Amino acid sequence: MKDEEKWLEKAQSLDAADPLREWRDQFYFPQKDGEDLIYLCGNSLGLQPKSVEKFVQQELEDWKKHGVEGHFEGKNAWYYYHHFLEEAAARLVGADKKEVVVMNSLTVNLHLLMISFYRPEGQRKKILIESPAFPSDQYAVDSHAKLHGFYADDVVVEMFPREGEETIRTEDILQQITDLGDELALVMIGGVNYYTGQFFELEKITAAAHAVGAFAGFDLAHAAGNVPLELHDWGVDFAVWCSYKYLNSGPGGTSGAFVHERHGNNPDLVRLAGWWGNDEKTRFQMPRKFIPQEGAAGWQISNAQVFSMAPHMASLEIFDEVGMPALRAKSLKLTGFLEEMLDAVNAEAGNQRFKIITPRDSHHRGCQLSILVDGGGKQVFEALTADGIVADWREPNVIRLAPVPLYNKFEEAFRFVRILSEC
């Protein structure tokens, strides 16, 4: 790497000026030989906030002390547990608190909301998704096609980048929606694509879907806690996200779901019901007929999974304190700095070493950069791992890097690029 000293100085001065630099101390970093690893994998599993232990301990204590009475006597009464998360979760995605609920896990919530929002009728039966979509999303939409008696290939329409391009142009998405017209029932795409890191223009896509009479729902697994979201104002019909990637709430952690307020109290929407979605005032009277709670909470089925929601409560407290605007501001700088250094070392090698396939325009990405390494990519990845980098490999030839603004440093981005340039 040329100009190593200069890059290092720049990284150190950016760290010194970073208003979020102290948040790093609130997380545990995996180590090797007593040194923190360079963790660029927060897009896959976020690091553990030190405060999680206290939140989980609280629930263990309440269970120990109160037994069943913990539902009402506990510090965070379990009967109302989801309420303790809704305001912070709503702020994260730009929603009203009645529009969000924390429950289940991500793909389960996607299925529950597709039950309500994929209601094919007559010729309106197509689902538009992006390619490559995360496998779980592909399986989910295919299975809903089957549920309604269709062949998935007949109703699931995939959108691809143009020949020679890596990401999908917004104009092409909007055109495809218009072309599908009254055959389109639902647009369901990943808000930030897991593979390329492309942040889709959700507001425009939602408006285009509505213009042809379709619903728009998004999987925000890679978007929540990463990019600014205004789900309510954008008019999005529904969305789901997980809590364990950028939201640092632990493996297999709980999920968030959004249902726009114009649908939240619509009794005509079909849903799979369970007692926890029932009105809280009559829930324990065990009424024969289901009376849904207002808003997204009415999609709950089972009682709150307190032990996966407690770490999420710890994490949401951090996000609330930091705030998405400050996180995004640092994210733009940190990812931009990594990109600048990657471009510099690639230029030294005649731009032959790798290619950044994530959009270059920062409005169209979060903090992830995906680099395509043709030939020997897996060996490069293994060498990085041996040198203390935790990144993420995706077949056939992509290394995904996520410098997370909450806990990564500019100097780590520098050290990563220096190691990469030596691989």
Q: Name the one range near ligand PLP by CB under 6 A: 2-10, 93-101, 215-223, 388-396.
A: 215-223
- According to the binding rule CB under 6 A, does residue 136 interact with ligand PLP? yes
Nearest Cα neighbor of 344 from 279, 420, 262 is: 420
**Kindly report the CA angle at 396 between 395 and 400, in degrees rounded to 5?**
55
- Beta carbon of residue 325, minimum distance to ligand PLP (angstroms, whole number): 24
Q: Are the C-beta atoms of residues 154 and 141 closer than 8 Å to each other?
A: no
Beta carbon nearer to ligand PLP, 58 or 105: 105
Q: Whole-angstrom Cα distance, residue 66 to residue 423?
A: 57
**To the nearest whole angstrom, how small is the minimum distance from the Cβ of residue 68 to ligand PLP?**
30
> Is residue 111 a contact residue for ligand PLP (CB under 6 A)?
no
> For 98, which DSSP code?
G
CB 236 within 8 A of CB 201: no
Q: Which two tokens stand for residue 295?
A: 């808003």
Which of residues 11 and 45 has its CB atom nearest to ligand PLP in the complex? 45
Alpha helix stretches (DSSP H) within 80-201: 83-93, 106-117, 135-147, 152-155, 170-180
- CB atoms closer than 10 angstroms to residue 405: 26
Query: Interface with ligand PLP includes 129 (CB under 6 A)?
Result: no
Give least dist CB 367 to ligand PLP, A: 14
Return the half-sphere exposure (C-beta side, CA atoms, 13 A cut-off) of residue 88: 21
Which region, judged by CB under 6 A, interacts with ligand PLP, from 100-108, 309-317, 329-337, 400-408? 100-108
How many angstroms separate the CA atoms of 414 and 40, rounded?
12
* Distance separating alpha carbons of residues 259 and 98, to the nearest angstrom: 9
Structure tokens at 199: 């942040």
Taking the complex as a whole, how short is the minimal distance between the CB of residue 160 and ligand PLP, in angstroms? Answer: 17
Q: Which amino acid is at 417?
A: V
| Rg over CA atoms, the chain | 22
Give residue 327's identity as a one-letter amino acid code. L
Q: Can residue 242 be called a binding residue for ligand PLP (CB under 6 A)?
A: yes
| Least CB distance to ligand PLP at residue 420 (A) | 24
Structure tokens at 110: 């996607």
* 190, 377, 388, 403: which one binds ligand PLP (CB under 6 A): 190
Q: Does residue 137 interact with ligand PLP by CB under 6 A?
A: yes
Residue 138 binds to ligand PLP (criterion: CB under 6 A) = no
Shortest distance, CB of residue 34 to ligand PLP, whole angstroms?
A: 31
Number of residues binding to ligand PLP, judged by CB under 6 A: 12
**Which CB atom, from 111 or from 232, has the smaller least distance to ligand PLP?**
111
The set of residues, in sequence order, having a beta carbon less than 8 Å from that of 136 and lying 6+ positions away, is: 106, 107, 110
Token pair recorded at residue 26: 């609130």
392 binds ligand PLP (CB under 6 A): no
Residue 107 near ligand PLP by CB under 6 A = yes
CB of 182 to ligand PLP, least distance (A): 28
Closest to ligand PLP by CB, 404 vs 420, is 404
Secondary structure of residue 383 in the 3-state scheme: helix
* Smallest gap from residue 201 Cβ to ligand PLP (A): 17
Residue 305 within binding range of ligand PLP, rule CB under 6 A: no
- Interface pick for ligand PLP out of 52, 95, 106, 371 (rule CB under 6 A): 106
Task: Determine the interface stretch with ligand PLP among 46-54, 103-111, 115-123, 329-337 (rule: CB under 6 A).
Answer: 103-111
Local structure of 295: helix, strand or coil: helix
- Asked if 146 and 152 touch (Cβ cutoff 8 Å), the reply is yes
Nearer to ligand PLP, 86 or 137 (CB): 137
Nearest Cα neighbor of 250 from 307, 191, 327 is 307
Nearest distance, CB of residue 242 and ligand PLP, angstroms = 4
- If one asks whether residue 194 binds ligand PLP (CB under 6 A), the answer comes out as yes
Q: How far is the CB of 245 from ligand PLP (least distance, A)?
A: 6
Question: 206 is written with which tokens?
Answer: 């939602």
The nearer residue to ligand PLP, 316 or 417, going by C-beta atoms, is 316
In angstroms, give the least distance from the CB of 135 to ligand PLP: 8
> Does the footprint of ligand PLP cover residue 222 (CB under 6 A)?
yes
Q: Which residues bind ligand PLP (CB under 6 A)?
A: 105-107, 134, 136-137, 190, 194, 219, 221-222, 242
